[in-house]
Amino acid sequence: METTRHFVATVYVVHDGETALHEHDKLDMWLPPGGHIDRDELPHIAARREVTEELGLEPDLVAPQGDLSSATAESIPQPQHFLLEDINVHDGEVGHQHVDFIFYGELESREIDPSDGEAPPEAWEWFSPADLEQASDRLPSDVVEIGKRAIEAVDER
């Protein structure tokens, strides 16, 4: 059976040494802002859009950009990680997969003001590296590790 794959963009946003996560209703796990990439969208644009929709804030992406360009090609901001994620796993069967372009981002504030239909501000929690470790029993291991790396990368800027 063929596996359906969706392209998604995720941003581990950081402010004052902490990253924001919420419990995703459909996936029943704690995650940072992110979502599906539209057909006509580039990954870094989708990443910014998702943060703006979910948090009402504009992230400054920590994304290296190459220096290659030509008349027909240009470098675009690169994600920090690419992950292939199994979604809707039941009885060992994978419903579909996400090809996840994972970015780090810095926020100027924590004044969360989501778009209509998104998780309310009180659904979001801010986690320091120590908080991530302490919550490792309720957070996926990749969320803990990437969250810590994002905080470190933003703090080193």
Count of domains observed in the chain = 1
Cβ neighbourhood burial of 54 (10 Å; 0-12, 13-18, 19+):
buried
For residue 34, count other CB atoms closer than 10 A to its CB. Answer: 22
Calculate what percentage of the chain has a pLDDT beyond 70: 99
The pLDDT of 116-125, averaged and rounded, is 95
Q: What is the pLDDT of residues 24-38, one digit of tens each?
A: 877 788 999 999 999
Using pLDDT thresholds of 50, 70 and 90, give the confidence band for residue 1.
low
- 118: domain CATH number is 3.90.79.10
For residue 92, count other CB atoms closer than 10 A to its CB. Answer: 5
Q: What is the pLDDT of residues 43-91, one digit of tens each?
A: 999 999 999 999 999 999 999 988 888 999 999 999 999 999 988 878 8
Say how many residues make up the chain. Answer: 157
Predicted model pTM: 0.94
Structural domain that includes position 146: 5-155
For residue 103, what are the contacts with CB-CB under 8 A and spacing of at least 6? 9, 10, 11, 12, 43, 44, 47, 59, 61, 62, 63, 77, 79, 80
